[in-house]
A and B are shown apart, each in its own frame.
Chain A
Amino acid sequence: MDIFIQQIINGLVLGSIYALVALGYTMVYGIMGLINFAHGEVVMIGAMVALTVIKLLANSGLPVFVIILLALAAAAVVCMAVGFSIERIAYRPLRNAPKLAPLITAIGVSIVLQNLAMLIWGRNYHAFPPILPTSAHDVFGATITTLQVAIVLIAALMMAGLIVLIHRTRLGRAMRATSENPSIAQLMGVNINQIISITFIIGSALAAVAGLMVSANYSIAHYYMGFMLGLKAFTAAVLGGIGNIAGAVLGGILLGLIESLGAGYIGDLTGGFLGSHYQDIFAFFVLICVLIFRPSGLVGEKVSERA
């Protein structure tokens, strides 16, 4: 039983990480209908910047809490700047271009960011300095660290915050208007360029938080880390229904649970034929099944036939 609870916790933590990254995808998609393929790389930049700051300050005698906050602030600023520039340079000029054109620039941006990071931070893996408490809590025989609790809470908080932002504020209303119909929104006095920039900036700030959390939890950062993470998070966002904030979190958690329980139990259930080497397949398989029956994700709105 403790093993089962542990697997649930594993899935929850992993899922929260996916959710954190997926939120960034879904924000941008919700407003612009664009897959920001470079989002994973922005997460990577966030992780690298945070790590650099923490390494610099690790021996400064400042309290751990302050160091983390400073690192987060630095990462957020850099990521926001990167996110803002990506939108200005690679997406805005293509807003009226064929749908696939921004996809290609996104891939280009992704390659550029990766190799820039490689030039700046080198090719080596970076270990996260052990400044965080590693104490583990006992939950019915299973364990969870303080950081992992924080990750789950932050994912939930972020989701709640974004939902409030989008549905309860003026900015949110402008965002929804832009998403609904940019030309009409503009006629109504919404500065859609500004709204889209803000969306990217918020998405990138989320990426910075995600980057810090991921690298702290796995104590590793690397210029190539964004790719897999981005891919999984993107899958999670689609699973939940891309464009939907709650859907991203739901999709993330679900993906985490599927991977964790799949790797934990399917091997024994199938006599070793489908072991943990098919871990990634479980996720895609569930995704395909979900999309066959609900073609726009679990909680996504029905996509118009002419999307």
Chain B
Amino acid sequence: MTPSSTLETLRTDKRIVIAATVIIGIALAVLPFIIGSGLGNSWLRILNFALLYIMLALGLNIVVGFAGLLDLGYIAFYAVGAYLYALLASPHFGLHLPVWVIIPAGAALAGIFGALLGAPTLRLRGDYLAIVTLGFGEIVRIFLNNLNAPVNITNGPQGISGIDPIHLGGFTLAKPISLLGFTLPSLHAYYYLFLALALFIVFVTIRLENSRIGRAWVAIREDEIAAKSCGINTRNIKLLAFTMGASFGGVAGGLFAGFQGFVSPESFNLMESVMVLCMVVLGGMGNIPGVILGGILLTILPEIFRHGSGPVQLAIFGKILLDPEALRMLLFGLALIVVMLYRPAGLWPSTTRRREFRGDSTNDELKAGE
């Protein structure tokens, strides 16, 4: 029995659901302490980045997985969120707005950018859409990189440093928090914040998936003309997909800026967009647990190779034969290929997609105009 269908049956039994929720909840709550003391803080930091990438992947999943619109410039929304946080909470403009103002503002602004991208591209499909979104992502990055003259808005390639860490009430997450004689280290505090927001995004996505809107997205993905003839306003629904997806990216971006304390345009290049897309596709497009899995895996895999590629060679051959860093990326590339070859629909595909994939799908894929 495959994992997702197991889930399906489990979902029906309420007691099991509650028990599972409690167990998962406890596991997630103690995870940072296990990782922090067992593997070290660097893994905790990686875990935090994994949570950020899960948010990104879930956002992109709405656009690519649900609505079937291939977006190669998704990182632009992450950048918008990050830069908004950086501009509103750093010495750059001398503004220090609180986080509960900036993060929603970031989500809203990213959403507006999403609509801006969506509007002119409504007629485009497939690979044409991919290249336009790619161009959009590059345009945002290039503007961020160059808007230091004539008026210095983004500080150009130098980036913005000294960004305020995230404050919640009277606490700053940059320092260990002492509460009732219990000290919470900074990385742990960030973990809980990121986890909370990631769970919120998961919740929103699940609700969306099973709503009218979610079904409309899937209908558009499957057949736009049929969807239209069923009375779906495809224009608005597509724009909504771009906007919702983008706003998740904006949230993740704001958190990234606060966590990192420094943003510069090089963090938002095309490769980042491609990586987020890989997470969505490799995990299982359109399936929320799959996308989460993809996000975790692609964040952690290169780090495992980083830790492993040198020592393992030493253990096997007694010396370093291949440059460990080149080997690390080589293995990462190979992993992408192998996973896709053996699980073409992703590691954990949604049930509908798996059905589709098992069925007839010979002629559609090869067809294209010459």
Contact = CB atoms under 8 A, between A and B. Distances in A.
Nearest to A26: B370
A231 B142 contact: no
B368 A32 contact: yes
Interface residues of B: mostly helix, strand, loop or mixed? helix
A94 B344 CA distance: 7
Contacts of B281: 100-101, 103-104
Contact of B135 (A30, A181, A284): A284
B142 A280 contact: yes
Contacts of A95: 365-366
B150 to A, nearest CB: 7
Nearest to B336: A108
Interface in A155-187: 166, 175-176, 178-183
A210 B334 CA distance: 26
Nearest to A32: B366
Contacts of B225: 305-306
Contact of B326 (A119, A273, A300): A119
A181 B337 contact: no
B213 interface: no
Interface in B87-121: 120-121
Interface stretch (A42-50, A126-134, A237-245): A237-245
Nearest to A86: B337
Nearest to A279: B142
Contacts of A108: 333-337, 340
Query: A interface, how many residues as a size bin?
Result: 35 or more
A101 B340 contact: yes
A300 B365 contact: no
A35 B127 contact: yes
Contacts of A189: none
A291 to B, nearest CB: 6
B270 to A, nearest CB: 7
Interface in B211-231: 223-225
A35 to B, nearest CB: 6
A303 B125 contact: yes
Contact of B367 (A35, A98, A181, A287): A181
B157 to A, nearest CB: 10
B337 A296 contact: no
Interface stretch (B42-50, B175-183, B200-208, B355-363): B355-363
B128 A297 contact: yes
Contacts of A111: 329-330, 332-333, 336
A97 B365 contact: yes
A180 B340 contact: no
Contacts of A244: 369-370
B344 to A, nearest CB: 3
A305 B224 contact: yes
B292 interface: no
Interface string A80-123: 00000000011001111111111111011111101110110000
B341 A295 contact: no
Interface in B301-340: 322-323, 326-327, 329-330, 332-337, 340
Interface string A219-233: 000000000000100
A233 B131 CA distance: 11
B279 to A, nearest CB: 10
B300 interface: no
B50 to A, nearest CB: 19
B127 to A, nearest CB: 6
Interface string A247-280: 0000000000000000000000000110001101
Contacts of A179: 368-370
B3 interface: no
B336 to A, nearest CB: 3
A85 to B, nearest CB: 12
A188 interface: no
Contacts of B362: 96, 182-183
A100 B370 contact: no
A60 B287 CA distance: 61
Given A96-B365, A100-B281, A305-B224, A112 B337 contact: yes
A307 to B, nearest CB: 5
B55 interface: no
Given A104-B336, A111-B333, A182-B367, 9 more contacts: A98-B344, A100-B277, A102-B340, A112-B334, A238-B131, A278-B142, A303-B368, A304-B367, A305-B225
Interface of B: 64, 70, 120-121, 123-128, 130-132, 134-136, 138-139, 142-143, 145-146, 150, 223-225, 270, 274, 277-278, 281-282, 285, 322-323, 326-327, 329-330, 332-337, 340-341, 344-345, 353, 357, 361-370
Return the 8 tightest CB-CB contacts between A and B, nearest first: A33-B368, A111-B333, A108-B336, A284-B135, A97-B344, A112-B333, A108-B337, A301-B369
15 contacts: A33-B368, A94-B341, A105-B337, A107-B278, A108-B336, A114-B333, A116-B330, A183-B363, A231-B134, A231-B270, A243-B369, A280-B142, A303-B368, A306-B223, A307-B367
